[in-house]
């Protein structure tokens, strides 16, 4: 018996060590939450990261269906996250608990390395006094009263899309990739708001640099691309390639942001500056914002729109260009003609208000169906969240992930055809020219509640104005050789990125009435000539 004692001690010690090691390797920032089911199969160290793969939204949607839990918890390495999937649970979380979910998490790569020079964008700022000020300033720039002052810009940028498509589509003979035209559209809009500067060529060097660096930086915010955010050990690996890449992108971004600000300074000195956020600040017009806060606001607006708008508009055109989409185009065209006496009037009115019900329906459906930010932007519990009547509490500090893609395709909310692109779901079934009365939340593509998208008004107006002019000018037809992918998951070529990038496809743009379009272009050219610095 005595001989066995050292063996017993050794067994107990080893078991203790194994248990301790297991505890260390499965430890999370927030302990397991009682009352919220956890998806089985989490591994030590990585948790669910490997199983989540590149496409977190689709995997979480499958878990929801498989386990029949709309809200569940997972482990991203050392970080515990609560994932919310159904339309109703997302509403409960984002609206019902909006004060509690006002915060955003800090991530090692994005916050620690990338954002160290220009500050955090609004969408990545934790909730504090500075974030409050930045959100307020952005709200003023992007709010309804401000929209009117942007009419000349909406006119100019939508004019440029049609002008260049008329030139490049060769009377409807050539097949084109339309995304670059929409990228310039979105980027010029926000560059004008921030710096009073725009670029006329779709292939302008600086424009392409801003887009390339912006897209690469957006990849550095995604969980599937940045294991080091959740597995701290990886940060200390020699020759950390992620950090080196982040630093190089940071300096490329600093370079163009400084160049843009220098241009504004030069324009102020010459008296040629346009009203914009940075000129107002540089001239110190009643601002309480610091230099870093101004950079951060400009960065937020530029990065908020440059991929979301082209992603939505491009994939929307993809759906409209298919055989089924021809019907939607024709009905939208009829509705435009019903509302306005002629095409010229439609061109002039499209940036002043969203009046054509059928086009509004297309905008809403494009936003819903192609949820370009599938997992929205992560939130963090700012205070304890009482979830349910059984005493379940999601503790302060927990990461909250909103599966907007799953919520936007919930058959429980949108019906059995939730996975079909159908703008008419937003119209009254009795009178197709009338929008169905929808109160409150329509979809989650702009998020919801206390940290909802600050740019949603301007984004909807931009999508609407561009669609009115495109549909009034062309019949858009998909290429047989390079057709669009219209699957709501698979249309996206980079599933790990924060914002979807649609797969390339081509369309031809058959003029509806070349003479009328060229008259509309001529008038728009006169109205907008010299409006902004190029």
Please identify, using beta-carbon distances, which residue of 448 and 520 lies nearer to ligand HEM. Answer: 448
**How many CA atoms lie less than 13 Å away from 397 in the CB half-sphere?**
9
The SS3 assignment for 433 reads: coil
The SS3 assignment for 488 reads: coil
Cβ pair 53, 370 in contact under 8 A: no
Residues 275-304 binding ligand HEM (CB under 6 A) are 300-301, 304
DSSP per position, 385-405: EE-STT--EE-TT-EEEE-HH
Please identify which residue in 451, 461, 495, 508 interacts with ligand HEM, judged by CB under 6 A: 451
The SS3 assignment for 528 reads: helix
Please identify which residue in 458, 471, 472, 478 interacts with ligand HEM, judged by CB under 6 A: 458
Between 376 and 415, how does the x/- string for binding to ligand HEM read (CB under 6 A)? xx--------------------------------------
Q: Burial level of 379, CB count in 10 A (0-12/13-18/19+)?
A: buried
Please identify which residue in 135, 221, 368, 425 interacts with ligand HEM, judged by CB under 6 A: 135
Please identify which residue in 196, 214, 305, 423 interacts with ligand HEM, judged by CB under 6 A: 305
The answer for residues whose C-beta is within 8 angstroms of residue 397's C-beta and 6 or more apart is 29, 30, 380, 381
Taking CB under 6 A as the rule, does residue 484 contact ligand HEM? Answer: no
- Closest separation in Å from C-beta 485 to ligand HEM: 19
Cβ pair 403, 57 in contact under 8 A: yes
The SS3 assignment for 230 reads: coil
Residue 316 tokens, joined: 């929307």
Three-class DSSP labels, 10-65: HHHHHHHHHHHHHHHHCCCCCCCCCCCCECCCCECCCECHHHHCCCHHHHHHHHHH
Please identify which residue in 70, 224, 360, 373 interacts with ligand HEM, judged by CB under 6 A: 373
Please identify, using beta-carbon distances, which residue of 308 and 517 lies nearer to ligand HEM. Answer: 308
Angstrom distance (rounded) from CA 400 to CA 405: 15
Taking CB under 6 A as the rule, does residue 183 contact ligand HEM? Answer: no
- Closest separation in Å from C-beta 143 to ligand HEM: 11
* Chain-centroid distance, C-alpha 430: 34
Taking CB under 6 A as the rule, does residue 56 contact ligand HEM? Answer: no
Taking CB under 6 A as the rule, does residue 190 contact ligand HEM? Answer: yes
Please identify which residue in 30, 81, 122, 298 interacts with ligand HEM, judged by CB under 6 A: 122
Please identify, using beta-carbon distances, which residue of 227 and 387 lies nearer to ligand HEM. Answer: 387
Rg (C-alpha) for the chain, rounded Å, is: 25
Angle of CA points 60, 498, 72, to nearest 5° = 25
DSSP 476: E
Please identify, using beta-carbon distances, which residue of 305 and 477 lies nearer to ligand HEM. Answer: 305
Please identify, using beta-carbon distances, which residue of 49 and 57 lies nearer to ligand HEM. Answer: 57
Task: Name the phi and psi angles at 497, rounded to 5.
Answer: -75, 160
Say if residue 90 carries a ligand binding annotation.
no
The span of 59-67, 209-217, 371-379, 380-388 binding ligand HEM (CB under 6 A) equals 371-379
Taking CB under 6 A as the rule, does residue 309 contact ligand HEM? Answer: yes
- Taking CA atoms, 441 is separated from 88, 399, 414, 436, in Å, by 10, 23, 12, 13
- Closest separation in Å from C-beta 74 to ligand HEM: 19
The span of 50-58, 145-153, 441-449, 513-521 binding ligand HEM (CB under 6 A) equals 441-449
Please identify, using beta-carbon distances, which residue of 421 and 446 lies nearer to ligand HEM. Answer: 446
Please identify which residue in 77, 105, 119, 123 interacts with ligand HEM, judged by CB under 6 A: 123
Cβ pair 221, 498 in contact under 8 A: yes
Residue 533 tokens, joined: 């610095």
- Closest separation in Å from C-beta 141 to ligand HEM: 8
Please identify which residue in 162, 191, 372, 394 interacts with ligand HEM, judged by CB under 6 A: 372
Annotated binding site: 453
Site for ligand HEM, rule CB under 6 A: 122-123, 135, 138, 142, 190, 300-301, 304-305, 308-309, 312, 372-373, 376-377, 445-448, 451-455, 458-459
Binding residues for heme are 453
């Amino acid at each position: 018996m005595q001989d066995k004692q050292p063996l017993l001690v050794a067994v107990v010690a080893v078991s203790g060590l194994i248990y301790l090691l297991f505890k260390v390797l499965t430890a999370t920032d927030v302990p397991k939450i009682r009352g919220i089911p956890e998806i089985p199969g989490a591994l030590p160290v990585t948790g669910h990261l490997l199983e989540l793969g590149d496409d977190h939204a689709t995997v979480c949607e499958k878990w929801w269906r498989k386990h029949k839990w709309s809200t569940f918890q997972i482990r991203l390495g050392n970080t515990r996250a609560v994932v919310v999937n159904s339309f109703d649970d997302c509403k409960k979380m984002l609206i019902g608990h909006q004060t509690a979910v006002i915060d955003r998490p800090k991530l090692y790569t994005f916050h620690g390395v990338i954002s160290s020079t220009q500050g955090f964008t609004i969408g990545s700022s934790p909730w504090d006094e500075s974030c409050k000020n930045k959100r307020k300033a952005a709200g003023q720039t992007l709010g309804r009263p401000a929209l009117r002052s942007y009419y000349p810009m909406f006119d100019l940028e939508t004019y440029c899309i049609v002008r260049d498509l008329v030139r490049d589509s060769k009377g409807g003979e050539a097949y084109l990739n339309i995304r670059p035209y929409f990228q310039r559209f979105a980027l010029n809009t926000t560059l004008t708001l921030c710096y009073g500067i725009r670029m006329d060529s779709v292939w302008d060097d600086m424009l392409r640099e801003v887009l390339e660096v912006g897209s690469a930086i957006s990849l550095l915010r995604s969980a599937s691309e940045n294991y080091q955010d959740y597995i701290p050990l990886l940060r200390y690996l020699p020759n950390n390639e992620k950090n080196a890449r982040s630093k190089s992108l940071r300096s490329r971004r600093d370079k163009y942001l400084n160049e843009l600000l220098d241009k504004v300074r030069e324009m102020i000195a010459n008296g040629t500056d346009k009203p914009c956020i940075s000129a107002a600040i540089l001239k110190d017009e009643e601002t309480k914002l610091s230099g870093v806060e101004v950079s951060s606001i400009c960065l937020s607006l530029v990065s908020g729109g440059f991929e979301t708008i082209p992603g939505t508009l491009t994939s929307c055109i993809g759906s409209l260009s298919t055989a089924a989409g021809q019907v939607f185009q024709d009905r939208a065209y009829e509705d435009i003609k019903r509302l306005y006496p002629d095409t010229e009037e439609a061109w002039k009115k499209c940036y002043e208000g969203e009046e054509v019900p059928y086009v509004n329906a297309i905008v809403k459906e494009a936003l819903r169906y192609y949820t370009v930010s599938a997992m929205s932007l992560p939130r963090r519990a700012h205070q304890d969240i009482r979830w349910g009547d059984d005493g379940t509490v999601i503790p302060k500090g927990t990461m909250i992930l909103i599966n907007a893609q799953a919520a936007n395709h919930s058959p429980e909310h949108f019906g059995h055809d939730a996975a079909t692109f159908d703008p008419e779901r937003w119209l009254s079934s009795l009178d197709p020219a009338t929008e169905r009365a929808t109160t409150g939340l329509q979809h989650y593509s702009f998020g919801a509640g206390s940290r909802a998208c600050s740019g949603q008004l301007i984004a909807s107006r931009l999508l609407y104005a561009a669609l009115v002019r495109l549909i009034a000018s062309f019949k858009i037809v998909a290429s047989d050789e390079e057709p669009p992918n219209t699957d709501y998951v698979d249309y996206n070529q980079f599933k790990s990125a924060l914002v979807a990038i649609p797969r390339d496809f081509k369309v031809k743009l058959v003029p509806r009435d070349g003479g009328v379009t060229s008259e509309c272009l001529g008038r728009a050219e006169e109205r907008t000539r010299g409006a902004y610095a190029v």
